[in-house]
Amino acid sequence: MRFQATHKLASYVLVAVAMASLAAAGLVAPLAAALAFAGLLLSWFAEPTSFLGVLIAGRGALPARLIAVAFLALTVWEVAAHLPEPDLSPIISLLLFLVVFKLFHRRSNRDYLHLYILSFLLILAAAAFAQSAVFLVGFWLYVLLTTWTLMLFHLRREMEENYLVKHSTQAPSQKVGVHRILNSRRVVGRWFFVLTAGVAVVIFAGALVTFMLVPRVGAGFVLGGPKPRRFLVGFSDEVALGQSGFLSSDNRAVALRATVPRLASLDAAARDRELENLYWRGTVYDTYDHGHWARSRTPGLATDLEPLGRQWMVKEPGFRGSSPFPPLANTIRQEIDIVGLQVPVAFGLDQPIAFELQDAQPGVGAAAELRLVPRWSSEVALRLFSRASSSVSESEEGRTAGGAHYVVFSRDSLAHASAQSGMPIDELDPDLLRPYLALPSELSPRVQALARTITAGKPSASAKLQAVIDWLGRTHGYSTQLKRHTAVADPLEDFLFEQKAGHCEYFASAAAVLLRAAGVPTRYVNGFLGGEWNALGEHVTVRQNRAHSWAEAYLGEFGWVRVDATPSIKASRSMSRLSEMVDSLELWWSRWVVSYDFARQIDLARSLGKRLGLLPSPGGRAADGALSWRRHKVGFINGAAALVLGFGVMQWRRRRPRRSEERIRRIPSGTPVGQLYEKALRRLAAGGFPRRPSETPREYLERARTVGLQGWEVLERITAHYEDARFGGALVEEGIVRALARRIAELVPSSEATGITKVTAVTGG
């Protein structure tokens, strides 16, 4: 490919990659991205001599500049309007506009340089807000293309400034046209790009090494946060039946990922069964009123977070009393990565009893801190606070932070139902129970009658609970196609008596309300159900379409128990291989890049040291790691010796003269004519006329003739015979050699050779 075209193509692809990375980071509206790419493609044809280029430079020059100024003014105004918390989106749009503007106005090397700088700013913006592993791909491509492009740009500039200068002694040097060399195919070829791709690999590796090793000790400002992701309604302070999130197979965005070690140890069949019973508990509501669930914010229902080492234990003091916490070793540990939710909720498997936060969180600057905030009904929220704030309560300054990473310890509310998880109902404070038993005053009497009918003859709360579940399962069906009988005001009543079909929210609400009518304290819970097992990353991926609602009923000593009255629905539990790879990559990106922190660096160094046997085990004795001295003593010695030997050989090969040079420079002094030639050289060198190292014998002879060396004819004969012997393999007669040896005295060195006579006395006058 011709050099100039290659340089242009590389520059364009570089800019395209930067734009794509920016778009992948979600910083650009789809329309703006499409326009930018269209401009990129169109500008390819806007060469200075083309019709489009002439048009732009001519009539289009003034309008283009006016548009640019207007865009700049608009950007300044938009940024100023959002102060003191500036929005970076207008600045990014301005950058895109400038890139396209510059692409249409490529005239000189300086314009290309400006393009590269702008593309770098784009990639910088993408890096600042990248939340997906797609950035890593874009970054690698950018490194590769930058390596190529900068090299080509450098060569092009050097060509235009230095190359093809016509020299002449009669006239000053002139630069000739560079178009020929710019259109040459011989400047760079396939191997150039292959080898420079290797350079790019090294640069990329260096970037990774820097990333791994530089300690994270930031203590400064926080940039503007990323744009809020899709906000799934259903996890807010109030939920409305029929308007909130529901099971939708269309919404496959990942909500969270969870690493559950217990699942990894199960076989596939057992794991599939477990997946069906993964209830990711989120928000909890205690007040129902005419199709709405809300929180009463009763002080007694507030969650209590008690610190215990690095963990925060979740307590409902009014319901647990003084019962001790179960040991965490007996709980289900999960490592949660919130991905696609900008919600203040700390999700965890039902029922979470402890939380543990990392020191650094993705998307959180060093000046901010993610904290656990207790809410109600054992619900825990995540809030972002500035480090200067001393209050842990919900602050107006606090912002939610999507992408949080934390650890949860949960107990299975059903599996541990026999444990002493709660206090008997009659021992509870009636004020605490009142919200969980409250029914709206407008609730239809037939709902209460229905509850009595269903639970008739069931003395215990658990029996009532089972009766309600059975009845709902028997009489109602699952459907996401919601219909409403407008004459019935309460959607729940409509569901129970008219529609007899609905989704999980209706089933959960119906169970909660019916049980309350039967005297069983209940509450309403929103969360997620199940997930997809990623065999590659050994984690569970929970998508938005797994949002689910259920109820919790208080069964005295058994505490709060999960009540899921929704008929079971089959959902995909596995992913394709490609999906697993992409999903694992995203999880790896989230944990090892975005949330890589100093603590993880220390852990990494420790684990590496233990693996290599460089660190002692807890018992004090150095472990026999992979590279322990004891195990590989001989190998170490051999390896060190091989290294030293190899280095020595390398140095010897570098320093010794090359064979060809040696052959050329070595005079066959073993032969008489060789010795004769050496003798002649020594005589002349002693006289101040040495042969230069870079001179051939013939060049030396010519130089001697030029300076008028006396006895030149003798040197000429000696040189001729010497060359015949050395290069022609001829045998020179000894007689000739002796005769020439006698004439060596005719070789007059130095001042005599120049013919200049030094005069010290007057000779005549």
Partner 1 sequence: MPSNTVPTPLPRRSGQRPVWYRRFPPTREGWYFLTATLLIGLAALNAGLNPLFLIWGAMLSLILMSGVLSELCIRDIEVRRHLPPVIHAGTPYLMGIAFHNKKKRLPSFSVEVEDLLEGSPIEKRCYFLKVPAGRAQETAYRTTARRRGRYHLSGFRVSTRFPFGLIQKSRDIASPCDVLVYPALVPVPASLLKGLPTPHGRGSTHWRSRRGDFFGLREFRQGDDPRDIHWRTSARRGAPFVREMEDDEGKEATLVLDNGAVAEGPGAHEQAFENAVSLAASVARTLLGRGYRVGLVTRDAEIRPDGGPGQATRIMRLLATIGRVGADSPRLDSATAHARIRITPGKPPVVERAFELARTPA
- Among positions 701-720, residues that touch partner 1 (CB under 8 A) are 705-708, 713, 716
Complex with partner 1: residue 185 or 611, whichever CB lies closer: 185
Residues 220-279 touching partner 1, rule: CB under 8 A, are 220-223
Complex with partner 1: residue 141 or 540, whichever CB lies closer: 141
Contact between 360 and partner 1 by CB under 8 A: the answer reads yes
What is the spatial distance between Cα 678 and Cα 179, in angstroms, rounded to a whole number?
52
Site string for partner 1, 657-696 (x = CB under 8 A): -x---------------------------------x-x--
Q: Which of 128, 669, 621 is nearest to 362 (CA)?
A: 128
| Cα distances (angstroms) measured from residue 746 to each of 166, 696, 702 | 46, 22, 17
Main-chain dihedrals φ then ψ at residue 269, nearest 5 degrees: -65, -45
Q: Which stretch, 26-34, 76-84, 165-173, 274-282, contacts partner 1 (CB under 8 A)?
A: 165-173
By CB under 8 A, name the one of 108, 162, 607, 651 that touches partner 1: 162
Complex with partner 1: residue 26 or 625, whichever CB lies closer: 26
Complex with partner 1: residue 156 or 281, whichever CB lies closer: 156
What is the spatial distance between Cα 363 and Cα 224, in angstroms, rounded to a whole number?
10
Site string for partner 1, 586-625 (x = CB under 8 A): -------xxxxx----------------------------
Q: Least CB distance from residue 78 to partner 1, whole Å?
A: 23
Query: Widest CA span of the chain, in angstroms?
Result: 157
Main-chain dihedrals φ then ψ at residue 498, nearest 5 degrees: -110, -65
Residues 85-114 touching partner 1, rule: CB under 8 A, are 113
Q: Is the distance from CB of 87 to CB of 79 less than 8 angstroms?
A: yes
By CB under 8 A, name the one of 31, 388, 487, 759 that touches partner 1: 759
Complex with partner 1: residue 65 or 154, whichever CB lies closer: 154
Q: Least CB distance from residue 355 to partner 1, whole Å?
A: 22
Which residues 6+ apart lie within 8 Å of 9 measured at CB? Answer: 1
Complex with partner 1: residue 325 or 596, whichever CB lies closer: 596
Contact between 294 and partner 1 by CB under 8 A: the answer reads no
Q: Is the distance from CB of 92 to CB of 125 less than 8 angstroms?
A: yes
The SS3 assignment for 576 reads coil
> How, if at all, do strands 368-374 and 380-386 pair?
antiparallel
Contact between 157 and partner 1 by CB under 8 A: the answer reads yes
Q: Read off the amino acid at residue 593.
A: V
Q: Least CB distance from residue 191 to partner 1, whole Å?
A: 9
Q: Which of 664, 674, 724, 656 is nearest to 694 (CA)?
A: 664
Q: Which stretch, 73-81, 144-152, 262-270, 399-407, contacts partner 1 (CB under 8 A)?
A: 144-152
Q: Least CB distance from residue 745 to partner 1, whole Å?
A: 19
Residues 170-229 touching partner 1, rule: CB under 8 A, are 170, 172-173, 181, 187, 196, 199, 202-211, 214, 216-223
Complex with partner 1: residue 63 or 755, whichever CB lies closer: 755
What is the spatial distance between Cα 683 and Cα 744, in angstroms, rounded to a whole number?
8
Q: Least CB distance from residue 152 to partner 1, whole Å?
A: 10
Q: Is the distance from CB of 598 to CB of 216 less than 8 angstroms?
A: yes
Complex with partner 1: residue 162 or 568, whichever CB lies closer: 162
- Buried residues in 154-166 as b, exposed as e (16+ CB within 10 A): ebbeebeeeeeee
Main-chain dihedrals φ then ψ at residue 563, nearest 5 degrees: -130, 110
Residues 20-59 touching partner 1, rule: CB under 8 A, are none
Phi-psi region of 341 (alpha: psi -120 to 50; beta: other; left: phi over 0): beta
By CB under 8 A, name the one of 474, 630, 665, 758 that touches partner 1: 758
Contact between 130 and partner 1 by CB under 8 A: the answer reads yes
| Cα distances (angstroms) measured from residue 60 to each of 47, 53, 114, 714 | 14, 9, 21, 80
Residue-wise DSSP of 396-413: TT-B--TT-EEEEEE--T
Site string for partner 1, 521-560 (x = CB under 8 A): ----------------------------------------
